[in-house]
Structure 1
Amino acid sequence: MNNTARDTKVSQQTNTHPLEELSKILDADMKAVNAMIIARMDSPVKLIPQLATYLIAAGGKRVRPLLTLAATSMYEGEMQRAHRLATAVEFIHSATLLHDDVVDESEERRGQEAANLVFGNQASVLVGDFLFSRAFQLMTEDGNLEILRILSTASAVIAQGEVLQLSTAGNINTTMDDYIEVIKAKTAALFAAACEVGPVIASSDETAAKAMANYGLYLGIAFQIADDILDYMADREKLGKTVGDDFRESKMTAPVLLALAKADDKERAFWERVITKKEQNDGDLEQAQAIFEKHGTYDETLKLAHHYGDLAIKALDDAPDGPLKTQMIALVQYSINRES
């Protein structure tokens, strides 16, 4: 590991906000992406931009398009192409959010009512389909078959991950390997693709593209593990969505799996009731949180996130040194320790 990576090892604390720093470094590029997002989600069917704007303008971290811009700039690729592909990445992500909220019957997203509650399930699904289609238009406009392969494969893998998660929901025999496969697919695949296209735009060698894909993959896994912790312990206003959604939906996430591994008979009966049978009563979420506290589950889950965070940082060992690399390393720490 070189000095830059060693000095900012994921297990250390950082006082910077890497997303803000990346946004400053890539300010002109991010403005171009935001302008393209607005332009390309337009449609003569007014409900489409209305609903899409409702979701996209509500905020969001823009992590994935920032990663595409950072990876392209780091390898000195053509930034106009990166603008188009970063927009495609954000559209893919937004489409999956719209579809997820319908599947999960979510009530809140980004601090406001979920789009499916405001506009209805049908409109949310169809506008999600529109955003997927726009993403593929942007990919074909770029004209690079390798990039089309990377992003189209990621889109298919995301869908597979959502189906896999459906099949594991409520199954307390789900293994940690099963869980990691789910989050690799539903979250980390797009992180990996967003990063991998950067060196491809720059016509860098396959080693660079693979390294960036690995960085995105491991960052995405760490990011999702942290997200699964937040679902149980975050402040609702900071999180921007309802705390305990995973619990209510009987999702088998890392905190539940780790608590199950240490459960006594009484606790296992509790998990079978609330997860397998979906018989949930007032106070059950608080009981789950108490079980996590008893077994040190939060710390154990964070340790797992740090493991993947360290792998993400190692993937950057041979990446060009500079401010972008420094902030991409810091982003790993931020992703694990964030409060929303």
Structure 2
Amino acid sequence: MGLEQATAKPHEDLARHLSGKMEAVNRLIQTRMASRHAPRIPEVTAHLVGAGGKRLRPLMTLAAADLCGYTGEYDVHLAATVEFIHTATLLHDDVVDESAKRRGRPTANLLWDNKSSVLVGDYLFSRSFQLMVETGSLRVLDILANASATIAEGEVLQLTAAQDLRTNEAIYLQVVRGKTAALFSAATEVGGVIAGAPEEQVKALYDYGDALGIAFQIVDDLLDYQGQSQKTGKNIGDDFRERKLTLPVIKAVAEATDEERAFWQRTIEKGDQRDGDLEHALELLRKYDALERTRLDALKWAEQGKVAMAKLPAHPVRDMLTNLADFVVSRVS
């Protein structure tokens, strides 16, 4: 979301550099999302896959493998695996969040129903594991299976943490690592593993993906309170209205007076929101400099990603991934 606004677009550079591989990924996705017996599966999947998107996660798998000198074909399998896992989580998330729009289009659960979205998501998870197995690498299977479990764990944790004022920055980070960073880090890590890269390079790729995913989510949460709707695709304060305790609010709550804490309890924990509450929330965020402190956190994580990438061999893809870390936070820099 929002990565289209800057003039320099590292993800587009990656897409051009890896266009042949991405075409193979797209063909594989089309083949594996088919179903002889349940036509609704490709219908639902095609609706979401066809909605566009940057395919950032599979690009990161292909980029990591390319950076490490891989010349085989299983990076394509792993990139498709990562995209299937991502698509499955989106289908499930839209049901949990009762969402009506995704990438500017009606969600699958709205066009069909919740049961179809959940079951098609399950199907895609199953397909993703078939693709993993075909690589013949138990380590790859272990990494992506763990990532899938971490994603689910993060989503369940968010159910309880998102509206609980006891949620602190450590718990927030755990949620973000689950819902966003786990798939980023797995995407880059498996690219290095399938290429047979040295362990220090595989670790650097994992660290890069982890840091990039965290920065990505922090920026997303920050823009909810200070972005421009036409650029972000979100209305200012959507997270507040949906009672999501994200990092800017967590920072403000940690400094709150008793009266301010009572406000957050009423609006976030109890969901009793009234006219003027969003404006007051924004005043409290500014009072405690929560937005600027959140911005600095995003920049710190992007910098950590760049430090990790510097440990990898010189390569045009390394430069693109380094630029991607800067690009992710350029919306708030």
Q: Single out whichever of 36-45 and 281-290 deviates more from structure 2.
A: 281-290
Match of 1:9 in 2: none
Match of 2:86 in 1: 93
Offset, 1:112 = 1.5
Residue number among 274, 295, 311 corresponding to 2:267 in the alignment: 274
In structure 2, the CA distance between the partners of 1:73 and 1:124, relative to structure 1 (3 Å rule), is: same
Match of 2:99 in 1: 106
1:165 equivalenced with 2:158 (yes/no) = yes
| Contact map agreement 1:225 1:305 (CA 8 A) in 2 | yes
Superposition CA RMSD, Å: 1.8
Aligned-partner Cα distance in 2 for 1:102–1:154: 21
Match of 2:18 in 1: 26
Map 1:59-208 to 2 at 5 A: 59-208=52-201
Aligned-partner Cα distance in 2 for 1:287–1:153: 41
| Contact map agreement 2:62 2:79 (CA 8 A) in 1 | yes
| Contact map agreement 1:112 1:240 (CA 8 A) in 2 | no
| Contact map agreement 2:243 2:267 (CA 8 A) in 1 | yes
Deviations 1:190-244 (A, max 9, x none): 1110000111111112111111011101111111111111233333443345554
| Contact map agreement 2:162 2:246 (CA 8 A) in 1 | no
Which runs of structure 1 show a deviation greater than 6 angstroms over 4 or more consecutive aligned residues?
none
Aligned-partner Cα distance in 1 for 2:33–2:229: 29
Q: Single out whichever of 261-270 and 318-327 deviates more from structure 2.
A: 261-270
Aligned-partner Cα distance in 2 for 1:281–1:118: 31
| Contact map agreement 1:29 1:79 (CA 8 A) in 2 | no
1:235 equivalenced with 2:220 (yes/no) = no
Match of 1:49 in 2: 42
**Which letter maps to 2:292?**
D
Superposition TM-score, scaled by structure 1 size: 0.91
Aligned-partner Cα distance in 2 for 1:134–1:127: 10
| Contact map agreement 1:188 1:221 (CA 8 A) in 2 | yes
Match of 2:284 in 1: 291
Deviations 1:103-162 (A, max 9, x none): 111222111222211111111111111111110111111111110011011001111111
Match of 1:11 in 2: none
> Where do 5+ consecutive residues of structure 2 fail to align?
1-5
Offset, 1:305 = 0.8
| Contact map agreement 1:179 1:254 (CA 8 A) in 2 | yes
Match of 1:5 in 2: none
In structure 2, the CA distance between the partners of 1:55 and 1:338, relative to structure 1 (3 Å rule), is: farther
Aligned-partner Cα distance in 1 for 2:146–2:83: 16
**Which letter maps to 1:35?**
R
Residue number among 182, 200, 220 corresponding to 2:213 in the alignment: 220
Q: Single out whichever of 236-245 and 174-183 deviates more from structure 2.
A: 236-245
**Which letter maps to 2:318?**
K
Give the 3-state SS of the residue equivalent to 2:310 in structure 1. Answer: coil
Match of 2:3 in 1: none
Aligned-partner Cα distance in 1 for 2:196–2:202: 9
Aligned-partner Cα distance in 2 for 1:118–1:244: 26
Q: Single out whichever of 230-239 and 61-70 deviates more from structure 2.
A: 230-239
**Which letter maps to 1:184?**
R
Deviations 1:52-94 (A, max 9, x none): 1111111122111010000000001135211111000001011
Offset, 1:249 = 3.1
In structure 2, the CA distance between the partners of 1:253 and 1:187, relative to structure 1 (3 Å rule), is: same
Map 1:236-275 to 2 at 5 A: 236-241=229-234, 243-275=236-268
Indicate the percent of aligned positions where both proteins have the same amino acid: 49
Aligned-partner Cα distance in 2 for 1:314–1:113: 40
Aligned length: 326
Give the 3-state SS of the residue equivalent to 2:81 in structure 1. Answer: helix
Aligned-partner Cα distance in 2 for 1:289–1:127: 39
Aligned-partner Cα distance in 1 for 2:50–2:232: 17
Aligned-partner Cα distance in 2 for 1:54–1:230: 27
**Which letter maps to 2:156?**
V
Deviations 1:11-70 (A, max 9, x none): xxx852111111111111112112222221111322111111111111122111010000
| Contact map agreement 1:108 1:242 (CA 8 A) in 2 | no
Aligned-partner Cα distance in 2 for 1:256–1:82: 40
| Contact map agreement 1:104 1:249 (CA 8 A) in 2 | no
Aligned-partner Cα distance in 2 for 1:95–1:232: 28
In structure 2, the CA distance between the partners of 1:115 and 1:235, relative to structure 1 (3 Å rule), is: farther
